[in-house]
Amino acid sequence: MVARSDLGCALRAALPVMLGYVTIGIPCGVMAAEVGIGPIAAFVVSATFYSGAGQFMMASLALAGTPLASMIASVALVSTRQVLYSAALSPYVARAPRPLAALFAATVTDESFGVNLERFVEDDSWTPARATLVNLLSMFSWALANALGALVGPALAIPTTIMSFAMTSIFVCLLVSRRWSAVTVAVVATSALTVVALKALGLGSLSVLLGAVAGVCAGLVAGARGRGEARA
């Protein structure tokens, strides 16, 4: 049973993400309609895939007539960064029941990862149940927006680049709001430069995952150097 206070706290935390998802979910649903996915199917796909990048990619690859195996590989590859989020969140659900932990894990996205991690670190009262509610509320707004987009279809001309900048802005905010140190600078610079280099080389689908892994490695090296200098 969900306490009303948990729902209120989760709703306040999820609201920015939900609004962002509505703004980009509608154009994503419009694209889904263009490849023949109706409102109900768009809702089901969005609630289960729950992946903006994957769903935009699915529609554009289908429109381009990409072979099935390539579509599966491309959309699966953009989801691999979730491995890192899942590992990073594991300490915070150590005492949660396994079914709740599984539901929480299955509904994490880039944005809800950031929102929940911030709360887990800064708010002692933040629980896996509240975090899961944030994920589910965000998922519901995403799925509903996609269904709405699929319902109205191409009749709605929406500038996707402007709408999707809401998500970029959320990532910038989550990045800037963190406590910064020399190690953070090394992590951020390495991640960003690696992504740019990999995208320039044509490795678009894997760039975020590999960029983040490179950033973590750089941070570990910088941290070890810092400790070595402090000892010397």
Partner 1 sequence: MSWGDFLVFYVCVLAVILACRCVPLLALKGRELSPRVSEALGLIPPAAFAALVANDLFDPAGGLSWRQLAAAGAVVVVARRTGSLIWCALVGMAAYALLTLVP
Residue 219 touching partner 1 (CB under 8 A): yes
CA–CA dist 50, 52 (Å, integer)? 7
Residue 231 touching partner 1 (CB under 8 A): no
Letters for 113-142 (x = contact with partner 1 by CB under 8 A, - = none) are xxx-x-------------------------
Task: Judge contact between 30 and 153, C-beta under 8 A.
Answer: yes
Rounded to a whole number of angstroms, the minimum distance from the CB of residue 210 to partner 1 is 8
Q: Output the CA–CA distances (angstroms, integers) from residue 206 to 31, 114, 117, 213, 215, in the order listed.
A: 23, 20, 23, 11, 14
Residue 166 touching partner 1 (CB under 8 A): yes
What is the footprint of partner 1 within residues 170-189 (CB under 8 A)? 170-178, 183-184, 187-189
What is the footprint of partner 1 within residues 184-213 (CB under 8 A)? 184, 187-196, 199-200, 202, 204, 207-209, 211-213
Rounded to a whole number of angstroms, the minimum distance from the CB of residue 129 to partner 1 is 15
SS (H, E, C) 141-159: HHHHHHHHHHHHHHHCCCC
Torsion of CA 75, 176, 210, 203, to 10 degrees: 60
Collapsing DSSP to helix, strand or coil, 183 comes out as helix
Rounded to a whole number of angstroms, the minimum distance from the CB of residue 38 to partner 1 is 11
Letters for 8-47 (x = contact with partner 1 by CB under 8 A, - = none) are -------xxx-xx--x-----------xx--------x--
Rounded to a whole number of angstroms, the minimum distance from the CB of residue 144 to partner 1 is 18
Rounded to a whole number of angstroms, the minimum distance from the CB of residue 39 to partner 1 is 15
SS (H, E, C) 17-82: HHHHHHHHHHHHHHHHHHCCCCHHHHHHHHHHHCCHHHHHHHHHHHHCCCCHHHHHHHHHHHCCCH
- By CB under 8 A, name the one of 2, 3, 76, 182 that touches partner 1: 76
Rounded to a whole number of angstroms, the minimum distance from the CB of residue 9 to partner 1 is 15
CA angle 14, 207, 138 (to 5 degrees): 15
- Determine the straight-line distance between the first and last CA of the chain, rounded to whole angstroms: 55
- By CB under 8 A, name the one of 9, 42, 108, 147 that touches partner 1: 108
# of chain residues touching partner 1 (CB under 8 A): 98
- By CB under 8 A, name the one of 6, 38, 60, 86 that touches partner 1: 86
- By CB under 8 A, name the one of 82, 140, 152, 158 that touches partner 1: 82
Q: In the 8-state DSSP scheme, what is residue 197?
A: H
Cα 155 to chain centroid, rounded: 28
Rounded to a whole number of angstroms, the minimum distance from the CB of residue 188 to partner 1 is 4
Cα 177 to chain centroid, rounded: 17
